[in-house]
Amino acid sequence: MKGGSHRYDLVVLGGGTAGLVSSGAAAGLEPVQPRIDFTRVMEHVARAIATVAPHDSPERLRAVGVEVIEAEGRFVAPGRIETAGRTLRWRTAIIATGSHPVLPPLTGLDQAQALTTENLWDLRELPPRLVVLGGGPIGCELAQAFARLGSHVTLVELADRLLLKEEPEASALIADRLCSEGVDIRTRTRARGVHDGELLLEGGETLAFDRILVAAGRAPRSAAIGLDRVGVNIDDRGAVIVDDRLRARSRGSRSPTPRSRASACPKRRRASAGATA
């Protein structure tokens, strides 16, 4: 078929022993639906995490000269952090406490044993019906993963498209792909509450689920680390307010930026983590 567009599943180049054996074997294959052992998949994920963990381990940092204290710390006064019964004095501090998943205030959600990216990895049984709340990058990637593993996935998103921070074309591409992989996408859909294994939607529809995965955004972990004790300002989301060099203003810190210049800075940015005080 000269110039034809027929696409073969397999082309064998060469008719020697290898070509004959491989083409004959491949021709005898029947398409089958793969059976996925979810428990083994998740155990593989756990092993992969355990394999890379040493690269980020306290031991590795200690080996390069970092004193690692494995305890919760908080600012107690300008130039002071308290942790593990000790007070550490500092000249510069980096706030790198990260973020946590946000659970939206839906009635009944606290009783629903919701999954988030914190506890998802402990799952060992595939939920036959999974509702994913939130169509950002995390919601989309996990919806796709669970659909491929065999769950019937419904993805609920309040906005009129997925991946709101991306270009509309990118949203459309991802939505098409997820649909083709069997994900039931509900955009412009507001969740109202959870009751008895069902997500209640505005307008009265309900979605029955075995597990619900909440991927509705993350919030900076800044509430309990004593930022008020050092005069570091946060915005209404809890993100540390920083200048365009990721420096927070703090009481008593020796910031190289004079206060007047910092406060006049037109470009005040927010950082969920990684600010210096």
Ligand X SMILES: Cc1cc2nc3c(=O)[nH]c(=O)nc-3n(C[C@H](O)[C@H](O)[C@H](O)COP(=O)(O)OP(=O)(O)OC[C@H]3O[C@@H](n4cnc5c(N)ncnc54)[C@H](O)[C@@H]3O)c2cc1C
In the complex, minimum distance from the CB of residue 244 to ligand X, in angstroms, rounded to a whole number: 19
State how far Cα 227 lies from the chain centre: 25
The residue (of 30 and 67) whose beta carbon lies closer to ligand X is 67
User: Both tokens of residue 196?
Assistant: 């008895």
In the complex, minimum distance from the CB of residue 274 to ligand X, in angstroms, rounded to a whole number: 6
In the complex, minimum distance from the CB of residue 221 to ligand X, in angstroms, rounded to a whole number: 5
Nearest of 272, 223, 216 to residue 104 by alpha carbon: 216
The residue (of 97 and 154) whose beta carbon lies closer to ligand X is 97
CA distance 219 to 161: 22
Using CB atoms within 10 Å of the CB of residue 138, give its burial: 0 to 12 exposed, 13 to 18 middle, 19+ buried.
buried
In the complex, minimum distance from the CB of residue 96 to ligand X, in angstroms, rounded to a whole number: 5
Where along the sequence are the contacts to ligand X (CB under 6 A)?
72-74, 96-99, 117, 138, 221, 225, 273-274
Which residue has its beta carbon closest to ligand X? 98
In the complex, minimum distance from the CB of residue 11 to ligand X, in angstroms, rounded to a whole number: 34
CA distance 30 to 28: 7
The residue (of 82 and 198) whose beta carbon lies closer to ligand X is 82
CA dihedral 154, 160, 164, 169 (to 10 degrees): 100
The residue (of 226 and 231) whose beta carbon lies closer to ligand X is 226
The residue (of 246 and 273) whose beta carbon lies closer to ligand X is 273
